[in-house]
Chain A
């Protein structure tokens, strides 16, 4: 495996430091993740929603 061949302590430390940063970055991303406003600007939300409303109106008609 690559980490068994020619890796130095310094390289390992660098790798561990990167690993330590990842969860923190993830936490920041989670905190900052604004998902409500992107939904409103996403056509892939409005198309099925429009179809749902249309389907309900059609249901009212065929009933």
Chain B
């Protein structure tokens, strides 16, 4: 073991290798926790039982994510920290906005893909985004370089297993549904969504190699997302007044996707921490296990797939096992010292290209440098938090609760699990990195 001793932000001294291992463990936990929250983000959408334009649903979810960014995260770190972080790496604003734009386009493509070929074909195709992410991680950011062949193989095999599991789960999820007759267009949309989502991780990794805080990145990400989604929704719906009319006409259901945005932003934040500490080649496949949790929501809480054939249940069990084994393979293949050095080389390249203080990059990469954070909240933060809360209350007050039979016991179990993993991840992030 490397005996080099370092002092972290909290003042304790740890051997460097031990610190890396701790951060790896933290990143893996964040990736798995992200899956739970990202899956839950889809659940409120199931409460929308009336026929509504998918652009309205998508727009409200993105708006919910944008507003929510100013609720929980603003409590964690004040706006002044975001400003200070931005000053250090101002060029990354471009990548944050770009990533948000990519998400909005990718998400809209998935809507068209489901419309044209159905979820069973569309989902596995766009779920290939983790393989695209691995490709970019290796090619652009030197991820997996210097890793022993066994670990490289484990990561790639794990990602393939997760994709395979997703195929089976998607086939089971869409049992009985009938896709429409535009196969080529639907397949193109699904593959396109996979490439767009997979390429969205380039800005993620770029930001975290340089040391930007995930909360800062998320600020620009949600802004890019909202701008692009608004433009897409307005242009596809036939103009601003038509789109506004759609929103007003469906005000009773707007709260549910808006709530989904809150759950999504927490999941995405955890995914960002995973990308920061274990890289995109490991973090993204882990968070892509959200399909497994999504199925649990569907089956346990909403009572889906009841009375299906044995083959459907076999697909569910097979797909779940494949996903779990894929996640386990990735979780057990943490980066070695030589691979970590390769990450540092990539970070140094960023530092030199954009004239960022190398000390800033090095300390942020190891989860240090948060001495300015924690408690510096101003009236601006409290104002933003109040606006966010009022938005939720206003939409909830006009929301209609659909008459769907929910299994409250399972709902309570899943919500408890979500809170537990969030509390665990939050505590670990605070103790080890001060949310850096």
Contact = CB atoms under 8 A, between A and B. Distances in A.
Given A47-B199, A61-B185, A62-B189, A33 B106 contact: no
Contacts of B113: 62
Interface string B83-113: 0000100110011001101100110110011
B206 interface: yes
Interface residues on A, range: 20 to 34
Interface string B178-204: 000000011011001001100110110
Interface string B139-150: 010000000000
B102 A33 contact: no
Nearest to B141: A44
A35 interface: yes
Contacts of A63: 112, 236
Contacts of B195: 51, 54-55
B232 A62 contact: no
B225 interface: no
Given A38-B354, A45-B95, A61-B188, A55 B109 contact: yes
Contacts of B99: 48
Contacts of B356: 33
A35 B353 CA distance: 9
B196 A35 contact: no
A55 B94 contact: no
A61 B105 CA distance: 13
A4 to B, nearest CB: 15
Contacts of B353: 38, 42
B185 A62 contact: yes
The 6 closest A-B pairs by CB, nearest first: A35-B91, A55-B105, A51-B199, A58-B192, A55-B196, A62-B112
Given A42-B353, A51-B102, 10 more contacts: A33-B354, A33-B356, A35-B91, A38-B353, A39-B91, A45-B98, A47-B136, A47-B140, A48-B200, A63-B236
16 contacts: A33-B354, A35-B355, A39-B94, A47-B199, A47-B202, A49-B98, A51-B196, A52-B102, A54-B192, A55-B196, A58-B109, A58-B188, A59-B105, A62-B109, A62-B188, A63-B236
